[in-house]
């Protein structure tokens, strides 16, 4: 079984996509670098006015007195070596250290949110698709519209007020001291981030399930006298789940990059919080490091979704 799965992986396609990712990342780094430098102000413009000689010394220390193209060339060389440089605003911290601190938190929240969304949203979508135009179907679609319509910066504070400040079931923010990723600290952020995805996935799975149940191979399976449970789980679900696979890859990337609001609402020291603080403070290297990490995740997750699609559906060929 494992050998057949491995044999379906389009290795040549994966290699081509990885090669294409190199100029893509170069373009992203280039655009982000020059856009950051074109924005008004700088890393030290918000501080109190410094003597000219002090400003020159700071600029020389961080290489900000070099021509812009020289700065770009040096930064690109450092990135190739895996060095994102020092943070301009957080003393004695390299961007790599900040990413190492914040990325696991963002990945944990995003992964748990997508897992919850796939399980709950997929289950609700299957239920609604199998019982089209029933009370269950209308209920699922009503709840999904509710989830899509209300943004996370509204649901987050509401959940905080009810379950943290009101009922005291969960933490009101942060990771505690010492910091730890526990259900008490992560439940509300995960649910807040998962709710819109549950709504979207349930609608997607419902539509796919309805379409699949009307396909010829389902009628053939039923005509052979197979039990309805076997028809659904052995014949319908493998086909109905394919659109979900295509959606989950990019959606996971969006959830990881879209956790900025949730991390700020719940006071979590993740990548999103660092990115927002870096953008406000014009911390060039910190913002650039976050952009590179996020762009890499988006590229890799999209590639993973395409590969999974080919593995699950033998009819898909990436020639």
Confidence of residue 30 (pLDDT cuts 50, 70, 90): very high
Task: State the Cα angle at 81 between 75 and 83, rounded to 5°.
Answer: 60
Dihedral-angle region of residue 133 (phi above 0 means left; psi in -120 to 50 means alpha; beta otherwise):
left
Confidence of residue 7 (pLDDT cuts 50, 70, 90): low
The whole-number average pLDDT for the span 214-221 is 82
The first and second tokens of residue 285, run together, are 């290297």
Residue 15, domain CATH: 1.10.3720.10
Domain encompassing residue 123: 9-312
**Does the pLDDT at position 212 exceed 80?**
yes
**Does the pLDDT at position 5 exceed 60?**
no
Residues 47-106 have pLDDT tens digits of 566 667 766 777 777 777 778 888 888 888 888 888 888 888 777 788 888 888 888 888
Q: Tell me, yes or no, whether 319 lies in a domain.
A: no
Residues 110-162 have pLDDT tens digits of 889 889 999 998 888 888 888 888 888 888 888 888 777 888 878 888 888 88
Residues ≥6 apart with Cβ < 8 Å to 192 = 152, 155, 156, 159, 262, 265, 266
* Burial group, residue 53, by CB count within 10 angstroms (0-12, 13-18, 19+): exposed
Q: Name which residue leads in pLDDT, 249 or 199.
A: 199
Q: Tell me, yes or no, whether 2 lies in a domain.
A: no
The first and second tokens of residue 167, run together, are 């009922």
Q: Tell me, yes or no, whether 1 lies in a domain.
A: no
The Cα–Cα gap between 316 and 319 comes to 9
Q: Tell me, yes or no, whether 299 lies in a domain.
A: yes
What is the number of domains present in the chain?
A: 1
Confidence of residue 317 (pLDDT cuts 50, 70, 90): low
Residue where the block lists tokens 């989830």: 147
Phi, psi of 177 (to 5 degrees): -135, 120
* Burial group, residue 183, by CB count within 10 angstroms (0-12, 13-18, 19+): exposed
Q: Tell me, yes or no, whether 3 lies in a domain.
A: no
The Cα–Cα gap between 307 and 7 comes to 12
- Please state the separation of Cα 135 from the chain's center in Å: 33
Nearest to 44 by CA among 33, 57, 55: 55
Measured CA distances, 259 to 109, 251, 265, 270, 307 (Å): 8, 12, 10, 9, 25
> By the 8 A CB rule, do 154 and 118 touch?
no
Residues 234-267 have pLDDT tens digits of 878 877 888 887 788 778 877 776 677 788 788 8
The Cα–Cα gap between 205 and 199 comes to 10
Concatenated DSSP letters of 196-249 = HHHHHHHHHHHHHHHHHHTSHHHHHHHHTT--HHHIIIIIIHHHHTHHHHHHHH
pLDDT of the residue at 37: 80
């Amino acid at each position: 079984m494992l050998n057949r799965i491995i044999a379906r992986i389009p290795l040549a396609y994966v290699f081509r996509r990885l090669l294409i990712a190199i100029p893509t990342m170069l373009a992203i780094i280039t655009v982000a670098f020059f856009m950051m430098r074109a924005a008004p102000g700088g890393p030290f413009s918000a501080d109190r006015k410094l003597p000219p000689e002090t400003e020159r010394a700071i600029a020389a220390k961080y290489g900000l007195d070099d021509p812009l193209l020289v700065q770009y060339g040096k930064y690109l060389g450092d990135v190739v070596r895996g060095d994102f440089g020092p943070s301009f605003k957080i003393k004695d911290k390299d961007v790599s250290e900040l990413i190492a601190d914040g990325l696991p938190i963002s990945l944990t929240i995003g992964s748990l949110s997508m897992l919850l969304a796939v399980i709950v949203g997929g289950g609700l979508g299957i239920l609604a698709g199998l019982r089209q135009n029933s009370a269950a179907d209308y209920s699922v679609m009503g709840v999904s519209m509710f989830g899509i319509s209300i943004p996370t910066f509204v649901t987050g504070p509401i959940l905080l007020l009810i379950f943290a400040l009101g009922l005291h079931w969960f933490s009101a923010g942060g990771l505690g001291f010492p910091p730890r990723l526990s259900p008490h600290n992560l439940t509300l952020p995960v649910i807040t981030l998962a709710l819109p995805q549950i709504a979207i996935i349930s609608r997607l799975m419902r539509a796919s399930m309805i379409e699949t149940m009307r396909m010829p191979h389902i009628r053939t399976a039923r005509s052979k006298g197979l039990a309805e449970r076997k028809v659904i789980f052995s014949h319908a679900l493998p086909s109905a789940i394919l659109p979900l696979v295509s959606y989950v890859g990019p959606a996971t990337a969006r959830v990881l990059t879209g956790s900025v609001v949730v991390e700020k609402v719940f006071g979590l020291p993740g990548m999103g919080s660092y990115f927002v603080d870096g953008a406000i403070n014009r911390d060039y290297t910190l913002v650039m490091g976050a952009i590179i990490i996020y762009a890499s995740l988006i590229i890799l997750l999209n590639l993973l979704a395409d590969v999974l699609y080919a593995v699950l559906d033998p009819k898909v060929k990436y020639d």
